[in-house]
Amino acid sequence: MTPAWLWPAAIETSITVSILAGSYLVARVISWSVGRLFERTASRTSSNLDDRLLSALKRPLTYALFLLGANAAIERLQVEGRWMQRLDALLFVFGVLILTLALMRAYGIVMAWYATESVAARDGELAAEFGPFLNKLGKVFLVLIAVITVLERFQVDVRSLVVSLGVGSLAVGLAAQDTLANMFAGFTLMLDRPFKVGERISLSTGEVGDVVAIGMRATRIRTLDDTILIVPNSILVKDRVTNLTQPSRNLTLRINVGVAYATDLERAKGLLATAARECPLVEPAREPVVLATQFADFSINLMLICWAKDYEQAGLAGSAVREAIHKSFAREGVEIPFPIRKVLHDGPAGPAAGAA
């Protein structure tokens, strides 16, 4: 037979176990009921953001409700005060961990929706570029808040720790000046937006390419040679960059041609303009312009100004226009002169001249 003095302990243990089991069942029932209620509400909306949030938060809600029941059950245990404090601290840490993971998951879902499906994402690429960075920054902030909360629970002086971290951050900042400069330059590029991903730019050093990605440290550019050029953001902020895509994808073509002095200039200018108009790669909505630019040594130089429809086909457009000019000049008899030098000798008469 069980001794009489063990009955109270057995009864208390049974009650504690019952509270734990009941709290788990109640947590599951409440989580299911709340989920069904929100599912009905979410089904009436066009966005799937609420559906994803509900799916992500159902399990953390169950765990949180179970922890409340577990806390009530532990309070009934007749254990030593030191062990009770340890159990309370353990439940507190688990509670903070569950809450932090739930918030991080919900924040990640919201930021993914903002970067891909929100109105800001449809209106421009700023949300898509800032979304991943804001996602990481927000999660780091949530982790820091959780760590500070746990340290405060264990009576750790957070202020002195922050001061120590500040001194350490200053040393790290001095050692990583270039990295920090590139990071702040990346912020500037994202906010000022002198160019976007997919646009073609020309650097001050002469490289031309399409922007592939704007990172926190460097910007990746796909050059016309189909190679990836990695440029630190600080260089792009300080140097001059030409955006070839804005305000439109049209790119100006300047084609210089020299004609003989005896050429009818109006006729030659008409042939140049016609060659540009008939090229399918030249923008038809913008009338070509022909200018006489220089009286050279052996020719009159003309400049044809027209606009390629797309900067990606500017080379093909320029080649096609030059070929058309060459054919039309040959057909119409317009001379493209080459250098001629006439040498006059005005020296003293030699023996041969005297004998003549």
Q: What is the pLDDT of residue 281?
A: 92
What is the reported pLDDT for 31? 67
> 251-332: which CATH number, 3.30.70.100, 3.40.50.170, 3.40.190.290, 3.60.21.10?
3.30.70.100
pLDDT at 5 over 50: no
Mean pLDDT of 298-322: 91
The Cα 298–Cα 335 span in angstroms is: 11
Residue 190 to residue 132: CA distance in whole angstroms? 13
Q: Which of 314, 272, 317, 313 is nearest to 292 (CA)?
A: 272
pLDDT at 4: 45
Helix axis angle, 81-116 to 49-76, nearest 10°: 180
Question: Is CATH 3.40.50.300 what the domain over 196-243 is classified as, yes or no?
Answer: no
pTM for the full predicted model: 0.53
Which pLDDT belongs to residue 302? 94
Tens of pLDDT, residue by residue over 34-72, are: 666 666 665 666 666 666 776 666 777 777 777 776 666
Per-residue pLDDT tens over the stretch 207-245: 889 998 887 788 899 998 889 999 998 888 888 898 888
Amino acid 317: pLDDT:
92
Q: What is the mean pLDDT of the chain?
A: 77
Contact 208, 244 (CB under 8 A): yes
